[in-house]
Structure 1
């Protein structure tokens, strides 16, 4: 029997037009309302034997509102964006168009001085593979949307550029089953 891992993207902390690299914001008013509305739909998550979250305010708050009391995991931090932290993609593209192009096309590059896409996916995969989830056990993690995307790339052994093809929205969930190095997407 395999372990089960459910990843839940945190609630909204800003409008799509104001999404910033490495934002460390709390849930905004709309985000709070949406999480509160979804409490009944996510109440079953509290039955998980292990409950984790990214240390960001919005992930901790999402987990708390859902009654999960998750343990913050530094390995689940958002993608480290170096000097781009706090800026929007549009702002960076205006200042550094060639660097943004390199970042979007070369998964080994980190023109911002932070993590490359490949390093980020490996960090999240390393976290998945080292969770103490035994056969038949269930773990839940409230994460940044980027973490959910990286986990999917790792679990599916997809090429890093597949990261850019995955859409995530606040409170999106994905279930994985398996064990270290052998994760499967569970669409049940």
Structure 2
């Protein structure tokens, strides 16, 4: 039986249109309510041998609230957005429309002075590929939706532009099985979703 890594998307701390680059805000009340609403479906993942999380407050708190006691993994941090940190996409577009267009079009572009999309995907993929392999082992990782999207691009060996076509909802789960360089995306059924869109 292959290694299984289940990603749990962190609960949201703001409505989708208010999402900010490198957002480090804690969960708001609605986020807490969402965690409580889906906890019965996600708590069993705490049985995994290894439990990790992104360093963001909402990833850490989501993992703690679900009883995972996760270890923070710096490699699972969000993409470094340089001077756009804290901005929404709309705000960055209003300030630097040509730079945002270049960033969206070229996965190697770093017009914000931070990390390129290609480098971000490679970093997350390297983390996944270096997980300790044990037949039948299980890992759970609570991460920002962007980190999970990057992991899926790596797993599928898809072009970086695929990143923009993957939607990861807060508190959803995504499982991959296999080992370094030989991952498979796995669908196990429907997980309860929070009420907020």
Give 3-state SS (helix, strand or coil) of 2:177's partner.
strand
RMSD: 0.8
In the TM superposition, structure 1's runs of 4+ consecutive aligned residues that sit over 6 Å from their partners are none
Structure 1 residue 31 displacement after superposition: 0.4
Give ranges in structure 2 of 5+ residues lacking alignment: 189-197
**CA distance in 1 between partners of 2:5 and 2:110 (Å):** 29
Task: Note the 1:30-69 alignment, pairs <5 A.
Answer: 30-69=30-69
Shift of 1:38: 1.1
Q: 1: CA distance between counterparts of 2:115 and 2:134? A: 30
Aligned pairs, how many?
A: 188
Q: Secondary structure at the match of 2:27?
A: coil
Mapped partners of 2:133, 2:51: distance in 1 = 11
**CA-CA distance at 1:6 after TM superposition:** 0.2
Aligned-partner SS, 1:171: coil
State the partner residue of 2:181: 181
Check the 8 A contact 1:133/1:139 in 2, yes or no: no
- Quote the residue 1:12 is aligned against: 12
1:145-188 deviations in Å (ceiling 9; x for gaps):
10000000000001000000001111011000000111110113
CA distance in 2, matches of 1:9, 1:50: 17
Secondary structure of the 1:132 match is coil
Instruction: Give the TM-score, by structure 2 length.
Output: 0.94
Match in the other structure for 1:29: 29
- 1:5-24 deviations in Å (ceiling 9; x for gaps): 00011001111121110000
**Residue 65 of structure 1, CA deviation:** 0.6
CA distance, structure 1, for counterparts of residue 133 and residue 41 of structure 2: 24
Report the Cα distance in structure 1 between the residues aligned to 2:120 and 2:64, rounded to whole angstroms.
26
CA deviation map 1:88-121 (0-9, x unaligned): 1111101111100000010111110111110000
Measured after TM superposition, the shift of residue 132 of structure 1 is 1.3
Give the whole-Å Cα distance in 1 for the aligned partners of 2:17 and 2:161. 23
Distance 1:173 1:15 in 2: 19
Alignment gaps of 5+ in structure 1: none
Tell me which residue corresponds to 1:116. Answer: 116
